[in-house]
Chains A and B, each alone.
Chain A
Amino acid sequence: MKLNALFNRSLWVYHFNSGSCNGCEIEIVATLTPRYDPERFGIKLVGSPRHADVMLVTGPVVHRMKDRLLRVYQQIPDPKLVMCIGACGISGGVFYDSYNLDGPVDEVIPVDVYVPGCPPRPEAIIHGVVKALEKLERLEGVKA
């Protein structure tokens, strides 16, 4: 697999917590530790969506975070990918059908890759990033 021409540079990731319990956050941070060291491939967390290529979304999207999630998603430059990390973002998880949810994530913004787990292991998150890049290459291949 080679990186698409549009992503022929380091892949920067912005993390958005839409109401997570922080379990997924711990695993995302664990993914960035020297044990897995994704920075050797140029993958690193950034503090602003303006600098990001990929958006990691955790949490089931509580009511107050819906507008913010939409706004942050719109602020990421194109091309962009969205990864939904954890069971809560995929289905609502243990908060399924709760009164204060506007989610799950794919009911608010389009999601490219789902990484299930409560929380998912770092290996699963890295696997999700690879799947996201493969999807991007496939989409670009269709365009070409």
Chain B
Amino acid sequence: MDMLFTLDTGTGFWNPLLWVLGTAVAGVIAVFLYSLGERGYKKGTAQTEPFISGNPEPEKGLVHVRSGNLYWGFLDAMDGYYRRLVPLHTGDLDDYVLWYMGITALFFIVVVVFR
């Protein structure tokens, strides 16, 4: 029963049984709230389709929000930086090796000249 021990960290404690109990209580509350919902919907009919002000539902692929959209503000704010940096990432290994050799040579020159 080592798995059921209470871990005392000094600032708090952690017990797996309490977590199981908490999850069960949250589940019961969730099921209760779900049971209060509208039961009049008929599955497979327009009643379960999303309401878009009466307009037809677009194809799923057309309204899908890609994960990249989460970073839109970040990319937009740093547009000047990305506009220069992204074209350098060509995906061609030869280019990356060339950059590596070029930067190494530059460092080599700097170290030799300014040592």
A residues with a Cβ closer than 8 A to B are 16, 48-51, 65, 67-69, 71-72, 74-79
Interface centre among B38, B40, B45, B55 (most CB of A within 10 A): B40
Our pick among A16, A68, A77 for the contact of B47 (Cβ within 8 Å) is: A77
Can you report 26 A-B residue pairs in the complex whose CB atoms are below 8 A from each other?
Answer: A16-B54, A49-B51, A50-B38, A50-B41, A50-B51, A65-B54, A67-B56, A68-B53, A68-B54, A68-B55, A69-B54, A71-B55, A72-B51, A72-B54, A74-B45, A74-B46, A74-B47, A75-B46, A75-B51, A76-B47, A77-B38, A77-B40, A77-B47, A78-B40, A78-B47, A79-B40
Question: Is B42 an interface position by the 8 A CB rule?
Answer: yes
Name the B residues within 8 Å of A67 (CB-CB). 54, 56
A16 to B54, CA, bound (A): 10
Question: What is the size category of the interface that chain B forms with chain A?
Answer: 10 to 19
Question: Is B2 an interface position by the 8 A CB rule?
Answer: no
A65 to B55, CA, bound (A): 10
In the complex formed, the residue of B with least CB distance to A18 is: B54
Interface centre among B46, B47, B54, B55 (most CB of A within 10 A): B54
Question: Is B49 an interface position by the 8 A CB rule?
Answer: yes
> Count of A-B contacts with CB under 8 A?
38
A67 to B49, CA, bound (A): 15
Our pick among B40, B41, B51 for the contact of A48 (Cβ within 8 Å) is: B51
**B54 with A77: CB separation less than 8 A:** no
Name the A residues within 8 Å of B38 (CB-CB). 50-51, 77
Name the B residues within 8 Å of A77 (CB-CB). 38, 40-42, 47
In the complex formed, the residue of A with least CB distance to B53 is: A68
A48 to B50, CA, bound (A): 10
Name the A residues within 8 Å of B45 (CB-CB). 74
Interface centre among B38, B47, B53, B55 (most CB of A within 10 A): B47
CB distance from A78 to the nearest CB of B (A): 5
In the complex formed, the residue of B with least CB distance to A72 is: B54
**A75 with B49: CB separation less than 8 A:** yes
Known contacts A48-B51, A72-B54, A79-B40; can you find 9 more A-B pairs with CB under 8 A? A16-B54, A49-B51, A50-B38, A51-B38, A68-B53, A71-B46, A71-B56, A75-B49, A77-B38
